[in-house]
Amino acid sequence: MKRFPGKTIVLLAALAVMLVLPLGSAMAYLAVGTGELVNTFTPVQVDTKINETIAVNSKSAIKVENKQDERNRNIPVYVRVAVVGNWVDANGKIVAPWTAPETPADGWTRGTDTFYYYVSILEVGKETTPLFDAAITEDGKPDGAERLMVTVVHQSIQAAGWPADVDTAQEAFAAAAGSVK
């Protein structure tokens, strides 16, 4: 029996066409069937501020407000506050440290890190309850002190997006700092 050399070539060509044709169809589908995908991020912001009542020789109604911006980009937050004070003389020189109250008002808790933590999520456009029940006054002024200088600082961090085991302000701030529960 005589072998026909063209038979092998025809067989290989047919096999090549069967392999290449589906690949070309798939590429054509991908080129025509999928459009451009755009990944869009909407930036948010945390915009909180301290509201307090300052009178002669006293400071009271210390609250944190989660401000509403005109473009609705603000988000709910966790809040913590530090209150630092010193007794100073007439020249502003520190005479003695002042100790902040140990017990905050309802709605707040004091952490072991000296921060006061608001126990609820602070929604946009809302304000915390006052930090202390009573005003900070100059009662108990030490000798040589002219006045009490109290500074209130706060930090806010977004409340959403934390792992399921983060559900308080203290845990969120610890997680943000890389601390482990």
Residue-wise pLDDT tens digits, 137-180: 888 899 999 999 999 999 999 998 888 888 889 999 988 888 65
d(CA 60, CA 97): 19
98-136: pLDDT as tens digits = 999 999 999 999 999 989 999 999 999 999 999 999 999
Phi, psi of 43 (to 5 degrees): -70, 145
Q: Please state which architecture CATH assigns to domain 48-176.
A: Sandwich (2.60)
Domain ranges of the chain: 48-176
d(CA 149, CA 137): 10
Phi, psi of 162 (to 5 degrees): -85, 160
